[in-house]
Structure 1
Amino acid sequence: MQASVRIGRAPENELQLKHNQISRIHLTLSKEGERYFAEDSSRNGSFVKIGEHWTRISGKVEIKPPATLRFADWLARVDYVVEEQWDQSVMIPAGRLGKHTEAILVFDLCDSSRIASEDDQMAYHMKQRLTQIADPVLAEFGVRFFKSTGDGFLATFPDATKALAATLELENRIQHRNRKTANAPIHYRLALHYGETWSISAGGQDIHGNDVNITFRIEGVQSEAFTNLEIELPRRDRILCSANLERELAKGALPSVHTEHCGAATLKGISEPVDIFLIRTGWTEQA
């Protein structure tokens, strides 16, 4: 049996790390029979911890699990799991998981890796300031679930109207902060979707599901994903939503917003094209 995992900046890797010190294909981990190997193909190097010291990996070297590897700001632990144990695992019936039909919000802080590489303190300040701005807004509009993603967050709301109201207020407060500070502006991408989420517990509360994945893909979508893009799509400082979310908004007390149809986008890992709208506000970046 031979298996491998590629780690790097390129999206086709099994593990993608977005950082300017990470090469497109930085490191490849492989298993050949009962032996494990790490092969470095980076410019800045990968390191394996031997005893109390870090040793740079040169080419392809054998590693002995459990092993600790380092590349840029990340540590990775390579461990051995007895294959037979997987046959004894128990799948939890879907009915025993917490299922919700709700509005999903994803926020991403743009250019955070570049900012961190230039000024770690500024990157830390921006993330702290974002937390200070976002926490009271999300609470005000009845957030049900919240999880930090490092460069942003994932949140859910019981209905689409509250999710949109929270999103618009969050954008408004961020932009007012940008106007008043001499520090670097907070640039962002926001995505809204409506669908099913499944609550699980794996070292802490989390949610999963295809609709969660769709929301993350909408957040990062760019012009190339559309077969027939109908508008100029801003790269950042924007709010995008799915057709599902827009349909839900039509059922409630709709805040005063202007939506523009972008078109159907092919999103990575999503089987069907997703219809996407731009929610244009006075803060929307001009493409």
Structure 2
Amino acid sequence: MGWEIRLTDLERGGQTNRSFSQTTVRVGRHSENELVLQHNQISRVHLTLTKEGERYFAEDSSRNGSFLKRGKQWARLDGKTELQVPATIRVADWSIRVDYQAEEDWDKSVIIPAGHLVKRSESIMVFDLCESSRIASEDDHMAHHLKTRVQQLADPVLTEYGMRFFKGTGDGFLATFSSATRSVTAALELVNRIKYRNSRTTNPPIHYRISLHHGETWGISTGGQDIHGNDVNIAFRIEGVQKEAFPTALIEFPKMDRILCSKALIAEITQHEGNVFPSQTSEIGAASLKGIQDPTTIFQIHDRIDDSLRSPPA
């Protein structure tokens, strides 16, 4: 639980949902901010959101201003201003809807009005930044830097390939796509950008695990946006799977720096979407995943994309 932010790009369109567990969230151009916005009208630290006890504040430290919506009017923030959440703030070309979800004493998710459930068939991507705990124990600043760089690399790729839903997971993210083909090409493009970044820096490399699966998700609009369902659980289990889950693994596969996918995702691309799979794959085998009743057949996607098979951006 914590800050829930819906970022709307008013100039180019599109929305991104972000969740932050910490009580302070900085918004600005600098890479060390929790929410990074690149724009010539955005200051290095443009806006700071804080929770103090049961009160919520927004503090503007920019040159060009942040504007709080009050009724039908926009008022420029002057220093530290108390918020009545949910609130909407305008910075440069973005509208930021901010809310804060407090920890509940009981799980309200067990009682959800039927009208607030949205069922979709979509492709699910889970990304995990590996070794972040070890790096944080050695250099907390570097761990934060790597998480920020992952987000900076991922945001434009996910948007370009038609991301439908996004949620941060602390050390990574969960995203969905209406097209299975685009989910694969987005993953391959993200890996290309990570490799390019790793080759051009003296900082620790970004190590990753990416999983892709296609199935049904249930969207919950009550109290903020989220998705759930057995297929979401499968995607998370594929991300963390290791060789012990396979009674008989057909190939060796790496513990990290990999893209794994389900047989269901491949079938969606080749049978239902009628496309050629955008990269070479190798079957690993049927895995017994924790909390999943039936074995799941998993493939490794080799991260060399054939440009002639690349899916166009959304």
TM-score scaled to structure 1, two decimals? 0.66
Structure 1 unaligned residues grouped into runs of 5+:
1-76
The aligned amino acid for 1:217 is R
The alpha-carbon distance between structure 1 residues 158 and 282, as it changes in their structure 2 partners (threshold 3 A), is closer
Tell me if 1:280 matches 2:302: yes
Q: Are residues 80 and 237 of structure 1, via their aligned partners in 2, closer, same or farther at CA, if it must alter by over 3 Å?
A: closer
Following superposition, the deviation at residue 201 of structure 1 comes to 2.9
Contact 1:105/1:192 (<8 A) preserved: yes
Structure 1 match to 2:123: 103
- What CA distance in whole angstroms lies between the structure 2 residues aligned with 1:237 and 1:189? 6
Query: Does residue 1:232 correspond to 2:267, yes or no?
Result: no
Matched with 1:200 is 220
3-state SS of 1:192 partner: strand
Closer/same/farther in 2, CA of residues 230 and 92 from structure 1, 3 Å limit: same
The equivalent of 2:113 in structure 1 is: 92
Structure-2 residue corresponding to 1:122:
142
Runs of 4+ with >2 A deviation: 77-81, 89-93, 251-256
| Preserved CA contact (<8 Å) 2:117 2:221 | no
CA RMSD of aligned residues (A): 2.3
Q: How big is each residue's C-alpha offset from its partner over 1:150-186, in whole Å with a ceiling of 9 and x where there is no partner?
A: 1000000001001011000000000100000110000
How far apart are 1:252 and its partner, in Å? 3.4
Contact 2:181 2:278 (8 Å CA) reproduced: no
Aligned length: 201
Which protein has greater RCO, CA pairs closer than 8 Å, 6+ apart? 2
Instruction: Report whether the alignment pairs 1:242 with 2:265.
Output: no
Partner of 1:23: none
- Structure 2: tracts of 5 or more residues without a match: 1-101, 306-314
Tell me, what secondary structure is at the counterpart of 1:144?
Answer: strand
Structure of larger gyration radius: 1
TM-superposed deviation, 1:96: 4.8
Written as runs of structure 1 = structure 2, the 5 A alignment for 1:245-284 is 245-250=265-270, 251-254=273-276, 256-282=278-304
Given candidates 120, 131, 139, the residue that maps to 2:151 is: 131
- TM-score relative to the length of structure 2: 0.60
* 1:92, distance to aligned residue in structure 2 (A): 2.6
Of 194, 205, 210, the residue aligned with 1:174 is: 194
**Mapped partners of 2:111, 2:226: distance in 1:** 19
Q: Are 2:128 and 2:208, in contact at CA under 8 Å, matched by a contact in 1?
A: yes
